[in-house]
Amino acid sequence: MLKSKTFLKKTRAGGVMKIVREHYLRDDIGCGATGCAACGRAHEGPALELQPQDPASSLCPRPHYLLPDTNVLLHQIDVLEDPAIRNVIVLQTVLQEVRNRSAPVYKRIRDVTNNHEKHFYTFTNEHHRETYVEQEQGENANDRNDRAIRVAAKWYNEHLKKMSAENQLEVIFITNDRKNKEKAIEEGIPAFTCEEYIKSLTANPELIDRLACLSEEGNEIESGKVIFSEHLPLSKLQQGIKSGTYLQGTFRASRENYLEATVWVHGDAEENKEIILQGLKNLNRAIHEDIVAVELFPKSQWVAPSSVVLHDEGQDEDDVEKEEERETILKTAVNEKMLKPTGRVVGIIKRNWRPYCGMLSKSDIKESRRHLFTPADKRIPRIRIETRQASALEGRRIIVAIDGWPRNSRYPNGHFVKNLGDAGDKETETEVLLLEHDVPHQPFSQAVLSFLPKMPWSITEKDMKYREDLRHLCVCSVDPPGCTDIDDALHCRELENGNLEVGVHIADVSHFIRPGNALDQESARRGTTVYLCEKRIDMVPELLSSNLCSLRCNVDRLAFSCIWEMSHNAEILKTRFTKSVINSKASLTYAEAQMRIDSATINDDTTTSLRGLNKLAKILKKQRIEKGALTLSSPEVRFHMDSETHDPIDLQTKELRETNSMVEEFMLLANISVAKKIHEEFSEHALLRKHPAPPPSNYEILVKAAKSKNLEIRTDTAKSLADSLDQAESPTFPYLNTLLRILATRCMMQAVYFCSGMDNDFHHYGLASPIYTHFTSPIRRYADVIVHRLLAVAIGADSTYPELTDKHKLADLCKNLNFRHKMAQYAQRASVAFHTQLFFKSKGIVSEEGYILFVRKNAIVVLIPKYGLEGTVFFEEKDKPKPWLVYDDEIPSLKIEDTVFHIFDKVKVRIMLDSSNLQHQKIRMSLVEPQIPGISTDISNMDINEPERKKKKLQK
């Protein structure tokens, strides 16, 4: 049966166009119940059980299916995902509305409907002859959809009666809309609110905790005084943004100070790019990453970013007076130059909430069900939840979702989602840091694994069609110890004409991952492999990452080769690219390769090749540095693990050898050569990587720090920065140059992927290269896979596909890759921090020398080179008399009593693990030297070398 709508539309040219919309209605759409005689086998895929074995409900004792409306699906998805909830009918009307309103919830619903054990059935009610409804005159779309849902619920109940009279199956309509529920009951449809139904499941009381608490706007202000001003409606916000009264931007909360945030304003305007918000009322219930509308204050009310470190540790939930007292601490006398555009949040354009990991702060009130949840991410406010299992959840890591933030509440309201395990447990903490950094880490699905090659795998004649056979070459790989995902291998040999041939051979991952299939989509979503201290979260399944793509020694492997002919002084004479087959002759670690190069007794082909590569690499590096490439520094650490407990037993900074630099030089050269080639061939849609030059203000701290040590750092160009860093030496303070380079690293911008057709600034500041890309690590970076595909098309070794030459799709892909890379970096740092805590837990209290990296208003940030560890020494502690502090931002310096601290000053600190806050266990540092009465820690009576005694105490 065909329904059609016809309407007329006026075209731009002034003509009239007739548009006909056709809507087909069918009789053969099944109800989804297994074995329904009336429907036959009309439905496929997951189906409803004929005799639902669901938990008993005191409200509806008969066997039943559930039929939720759109808002229940949107807000109560955590309940619906619970294994106890099965046999749910998801209407097409509801699914379409969810899709339009929340992509993440839509994806979660699709995943649940694909899970056969859950028995969720999608019913296409909009195309079923008996359940389709047309919009009536004067009826809005929302009311029409509500009616469509009720019609489908009624049809189901009548249909199921026909199917089996003795079975007495019924469909229960779940809605939180009071009017909709009343109408359903009038029409004879059994209907309950989500809360009523869940509370009726007496065998599953834990489900009540997962209910989202939704307060209706009108009922918000029943108790307590109003703390926050009302959020303006979206229509007013849009008008205000259009007229310039308000600015739209992304809300970024501060980790250091819960009473301060910045809003990064969207758009291209140069002024007021970053707006500071200070104080609870001006933050006005915005949460990190929300899209907000901001009202800018007049200049007379502008403030400077605060240098105070403030964490929300108060147990008193609604003590707003105390907050106002703390806000006055933020206001400091500053000169005009320090003032930044300041404003307040007037409304929320889009909430970007996610489930948050953290811990429960149990209420002191006995038998209380209301507790505060403290998220692991310090940028997220505490969340008030109701739970009956507080005692069981104490000391555990849990997940909580936010439901709303009423105007009269100091904290947002939320609900419990999941228990992850004991805090401090290695597995639990790893899960937390992966979830908190949004790292996709579920096992690869069957759909993804189905696109892997069948084993045993071997190279076929077809594979050789566009390839060169380079198996005769003396190729070898050099990697960190324990590396199984070997992306790259090298060779160097002398040609008959006296020149050198150098090859960089990269795993041919794009041969195995074909565009658009499930394996490709999953790799693109993950974007990068994430390396944690004891775990690797692969971007591609292990069969590829550690076997078929890994360039292991003595096996034939497919590669993509970049081969140069060079003179002996590293001048490039010819460059060519080819798909190839190689057979690596050796898989070496950096230390093994270094030993071969240095040993006078080893002269085999591999070692000769390595010596040739090393000699050329030194020349290439010198040339790069002369052009202005930066040599920066960041202290990287390596853990030595106990073979049984897998706990860290030693911690040391990584040693960099010549061979590290050798591999790096050829990888950079290959990346630059490929970047030039793909940009030549595809000027509009080459995937490139750029590193923007930092704005001059970023360097202020570096210049001031150097000046305090009577050194000059010039920052007008990368070359002048590199040269002045080279000259910034102090014979009495050899580590000063490393400290300056560490500080310079902090001043840098993030390097990003971009599409050449969407940008005109290609320059890579750190490498001093006019063009750059990533080609050399396709096993662990998806950007390299795309670059391989572009290069393969450029040399005629593979065919193109539409997405590869669509610059908008490529730009979207770059956005995801940049996000994934940033998150991977943060996850890696969090993993190092956690393992450092484990190390100091067993080590006890130690005393070490360090250097001041930053001076704050009430603290100093100290770097301990021995451990590559950074920590903060606070000078204002609770319940202790406040010392006399004088902070000078110009130098910068901090005077405590009669002692003045500058950046790079040498100090001695006591390091210990503070476990008083289970959630945020942290390395606590306190000052030992210089000695300041009442501030410094006296370590004379503390036996530092007896961690065992400390350990026993900790275990008690």
CATH of the domain at 881: 2.40.50.140
Residue 245 shares a structural domain with residue 129: no
Residue 192 shares a structural domain with residue 324: no
What pLDDT sits at residue 222? 43
Residue 403 shares a structural domain with residue 512: no
296 is a domain residue: yes
Q: How many CA atoms lie within 13 A of 230 on its CB side?
A: 8
Amino acid at 28: D
290 is a domain residue: yes
What pLDDT sits at residue 752? 93
Contact 714, 786 (CB under 8 A): no
β-pairing, 88-91 vs 2-10, is unpaired
Instruction: Map 845-900 to HEC letters.
Output: CEEEEEEEEEECCCEEEEEECCCCEEEEEECCCCCCCCCCEEEECCCCEEEECCEE
Of 298, 327, 350, the residue that ends a domain is: 350
Residue 402 shares a structural domain with residue 479: no
Q: What are phi and psi of 374, to 5 degrees?
A: -105, 115
Residue 206 shares a structural domain with residue 292: no
Residue 419 shares a structural domain with residue 503: no
For residue 251, give the 3-state DSSP assignment.
strand
Residue 801 shares a structural domain with residue 898: no
* Domains contained in the chain, number: 5
Contact 827, 530 (CB under 8 A): yes
Torsion of CA 231, 235, 237, 240, to 10 degrees: -140
Cis before 515 (ω within 30)? no
- State how far the alpha carbon of 63 is from the alpha carbons of 156, 274, 326, 476, in Å: 14, 58, 57, 67
Instruction: Map 109-131 to HEC letters.
Output: HHHHHCCCCCCEEEECHHHECCC
Of 221, 246, 270, the residue that ends a domain is: 221
Number of neighbouring beta carbons within 10 Å of residue 524:
21
Domain containing 308 — which CATH number? 2.40.50.690
In order, the DSSP letters of 253-269 are E-SSBTTEEEEEE-SS-
Q: What are phi and psi of 169, to 5 degrees?
A: -75, 140
- State how far the alpha carbon of 530 is from the alpha carbons of 526, 780, 785, in Å: 9, 8, 17
Of 307, 327, 350, the residue that ends a domain is: 350
905 is a domain residue: yes
Amino acid at 87: N
514 is a domain residue: yes
693 is a domain residue: no
CA distance 441 to 433: 11
Greatest extent of the chain over all pairs of C-alpha atoms, in Å? 95
What pLDDT sits at residue 941? 47
CA distance 412 to 215: 11
Residue 334 shares a structural domain with residue 360: no
Residue 503 shares a structural domain with residue 620: yes
Q: Structure tokens of 869?
A: 């560890």
Buried residues in 471-506 as b, exposed as e (16+ CB within 10 A)? eebbbbbbbeeeeebbbbbbbbeeeeeebbbbbbbb
Residue 915 shares a structural domain with residue 808: no
733 is a domain residue: no
Domain containing 177 — which CATH number? 3.40.50.1010
Residue 85 shares a structural domain with residue 184: yes
Residues of the chain with pLDDT under 70: 1-7, 20-21, 40-46, 54-55, 163-167, 214-224, 268-272, 307-337, 366-367, 633-656, 878-880, 917-919, 934, 936, 938-956
Contact 382, 375 (CB under 8 A): yes
Domain containing 374 — which CATH number? 2.40.50.700
494 is a domain residue: yes
- Distance from first CA to last CA of the chain, Å, rounded? 76
Give the residue from 918, 949, 937, 921 showing the smallest Cα distance to 843. Answer: 949
Residue 395 shares a structural domain with residue 299: no
707 is a domain residue: no
Q: Measured in whole angstroms, how far is the alpha carbon of residue 849 from the centre of its chain?
A: 34
The residue with tokens 């590869």 is: 804
What pLDDT sits at residue 945? 40
CA distance 508 to 513: 9
Contact 553, 845 (CB under 8 A): no
Query: Containing domain of residue 45, as a range?
Result: 24-221
